[in-house]
Structure 1
């Protein structure tokens, strides 16, 4: 679930790791970390988080999710005061016990102290809790060295995808206007209109691959290239192939590229890249970032189908493995969609007109 293996050997390690697994320091939260395999060295399979207090039925889908993931044991962590955390902890422990899924540790953290619901020995788990440092420690050092980040809270994570402003926004708006005018002019001036869709899609697919390679090697794309890629991805065929290119070796590059474009592109071009970010983050196990990415996509276009699909999967606690096994190959996409047609370009043409007519 994270690019850096972290060995959890104590409650301090667990509480130190949770913010880096989630990407932010949780508050008023219940976190379930599930493993598959034998003993505490089992493989991390899934991490889920709920805001507290839990609404009725919030945990109904937890056991089916863990069973699909073949989870054998879990670690539970609650963040907040006892009146808030304990009822949720009691509910989830009963659910897991009934399902035969072992709880090897269950903790509540508040401020700089923690308590265990599993340990009853006063010498190691006193009634007034044990002190710990929520911001420092060996696990935090390991995670930071490995490139993991834990933002102060979920709002900070949401802010990390906020649209760029100021001079950066003005430059991107001008780049988008220039690209839109250029692409529209090329489409209108085409000598063989029936060949336009195929050429546009082929160029777009090549640009997606080049952009992933370039971003992985040298970081953010120049404004003009970013705007051009945004235009390409407005065509569903191009977006879908970008989706199929995600795998375990490239998902971090996908997350970085699509997050960067989610921040930089003009709002009307955000839904495809934010949806791709959601898919890549979800695939990586980062459901918090995936959810925020989907929010960005739906804020720009509430009817965007890919974002709605991802939103339903996240809400239903569906495993991202389902998408991995069902995604078509590029050849299958070609076979199912047939030759590129002008209908593929119609949504994008409307966006081009809109941005071409805007003043810088």
Structure 2
């Protein structure tokens, strides 16, 4: 499941809502159920889940989706199912029931199939004919407003996954060579640390702070890190005090998302955990829950026990609003102490 908070879009009709959904999620959904949460007349949140398999009971997934929407402080919601009727209808029905059970008004329930939409709640043939209504999202003023505001709707979720996929070919070979050089540099750095610096911890942190400061300075100037800088930063981020320093300096700014996306795609697979988790945190803080989700999927596929990724995955799945961390880093992340203790127990 992915969730996101996005800038306001003026929605006045079902067609407008359908045009807005891809910009709320960041991509055009398919074989999905989407719940759009409202407070008053304002869209405050959107959450998406895959349609369950035909043999799967949709009730449990529906209850989870409704719980996520309820935690946003929503008053009402509209449900949209994308796909064939035999899969969409039972899922939308289950989500409607779960939302109502959570005390939320269901304003509408829609199905989108092959470029047409139907309403499950409207029986007026003038506005909701049995053959459905065609819609063209590109013709909506909502689409124009979203594009003007800089929002992006990728063709599908696969296109979003591609944004965090590793570079390949000659670029990968160059990064592998740069990582070998960074490892030799790291060995020399630790060997040259003073005897009073146990295991070179202070030396590593100082090098990491300098690398992070330089990376963020370069990002502010729209300058891309070279291969040696990416490999060096990726290696230093495996030291938890360095990772935590980077975390404290990361928020939902565009430059944070751009930096950690670039580093995630370019570092070697064994170094993806920290930059991937930092990207997920930045994307979540920016309200780009779908991007956060695909970044976490990549991290947890390669590093299933990485505590920061597990923490962020838990926040995302529970639908914790990014606004809960307004004031970061002076306010703490819910659950972070618990996850760190759990991580230390595993290492013992």
TM-score (norm 2): 0.84
Please state whether the residue corresponding to 1:104 is helix, strand or coil: strand
Q: Does 1:11 align with 2:10?
A: no
Counterpart in the other structure of 2:49: 50
Shift of 1:271: 0.7
- Which of residues 219, 238, 244 is equivalent to 2:242? 238
For structure 1, list consecutive stretches of 5 or more residues without a partner in the other structure: 337-343, 348-360
Alignment of 1:90-169 (within 5 A): 90-135=93-138, 137-169=140-172
On the 8 A contact 2:108/2:121 being kept in 1, the answer is yes
Structure-1-length-normalised TM-score: 0.81
User: In structure 2, how many angstroms separate the alpha carbons of the residues matched to 1:153 and 1:223?
Assistant: 30
Counterpart-to-counterpart distance in 2, 1:112 and 1:139? 17
Kindly tell me: are residues 210 and 105 of structure 1, through their superposed partners in 2, closer, same or farther at Cα, counting changes over 3 Å?
farther
Q: Is the 8 A contact 1:241 1:330 kept in 2?
A: no
Contact 1:226-1:265 within 8 A present in 2 as well: yes
Give the distance between the partners of 2:139 and 2:239, measured in 1 at CA.
Answer: 46
1:229 aligns with 2:230: no
CA-atom RMSD, angstroms? 2.8
- CA distance in structure 2 between the partners assigned to 1:17 and 1:23 by the alignment: 10
Structure 1 residue aligned with 2:197: 194
Q: Decide whether aligned partners of structure 1 residues 109 and 11 sit closer, same or farther in structure 2, where only a CA change above 3 A counts.
A: same
Which residue of structure 2 lines up, in the alignment, with residue 353 of structure 1?
none
Residue 297 of structure 2 aligns to a residue in which SS?
Answer: helix
Check whether the contact 2:251–2:281 (CA below 8 A) recurs between aligned residues.
no
1:276-324 CA distance string (max 9 Å, x none):
1122222333332222111211222222222222233334x24144973
Structure 1 distance, partners of 2:251, 2:46, is 20
Equivalent in the alignment of 2:341:
none
Given the superposition, is the C-alpha separation of residues 136 and 213 from structure 1 closer, same or farther in structure 2, using an over 3 Å criterion?
Answer: farther
Contact 2:63 2:95 in 1 (8 A): no
- Residue 30 of structure 1 is matched in structure 2 by 33
Matching of residues 292-331 of structure 1 within 5 Å: 292-315=294-317, 317-321=318-322, 324=325, 329=330
Partner of 2:216: 212
Aligned residues: 327
- Aligned counterparts of 2:229 and 2:210: Cα–Cα separation in 1: 13
Q: Following the alignment from structure 2 to structure 1, what is the Cα–Cα distance between the partners of residues 307 and 126? A: 55
Contact kept, 8 Å, 1:52 with 1:84, in 2: the verdict is yes
Structure 2 portions without partners, runs of 5+: 338-343
Alignment partner of 1:64 is 2:67: yes
CA-to-partner distance for each residue in 1:157-198, whole Å, 9 max, x for gaps? Answer: 112211101121122222222222122112213344517422
Query: Which residue is 2:340 aligned to?
Result: none
1:247/1:131 CA distance change after superposition, 3 Å: same
Cα 1:104/1:220, change in 2 over 3 Å: farther
1:87 deviates by: 1.1
Contact 2:189–2:203 (CA<8 Å) still a contact in 1? no
In structure 2, C-alpha distance between the alignment counterparts of 1:246 and 1:43, rounded to whole Å: 27
1:341 aligns with none
Query: Judging changes above 3 Å, is the alpha-carbon distance between structure 1 residues 210 and 256 closer, same or farther for their aligned structure 2 residues?
Result: same
